[in-house]
Amino acid sequence: MTRPTRFEHHQYLGDKRSQVVHDLDAAVDACAIDDLMAAETFASFGPDALPEARNRGYRPCRHCISGA
Ligand SMILES: [Zn+2]
């Protein structure tokens, strides 16, 4: 898939609806990143890291984050 332009400098992208975080370097069609961008219910993290996403209550996506 194509990385969303506005997230080209981010690795992790959160879905505010489902509280799931995706790894854009490993995202697959099942992640529905395009739908997420269209709905504009996404979140980025600072720092751009999985522990930060977890701290904010996001669960790792089972499709694109290993060990989820
Ligand atoms: Zn995913």
Task: Find out whether the peptide bond into 47 is cis, omega within 30 degrees of 0.
Answer: yes
What is the whole-number distance in angstroms between the Cα of residue 62 and the centre of ligand 1?
Answer: 6
CB 23 within 8 A of CB 54: no
**Residue 66 Cα, ligand 1 centroid: separation in angstroms?**
10
Average pLDDT (5-26) is 92
Radius of gyration (C-alpha) of the chain in whole angstroms: 10
Q: What whole-number percentage of the chain has pLDDT above 70?
A: 94
At residue 15, φ and ψ (nearest 5 deg) are -105, 110
Give residue 60's pLDDT band: very low, low, confident or very high (50, 70, 90).
very high
Residue 26 Cα to ligand 1 midpoint, Å, equals 7
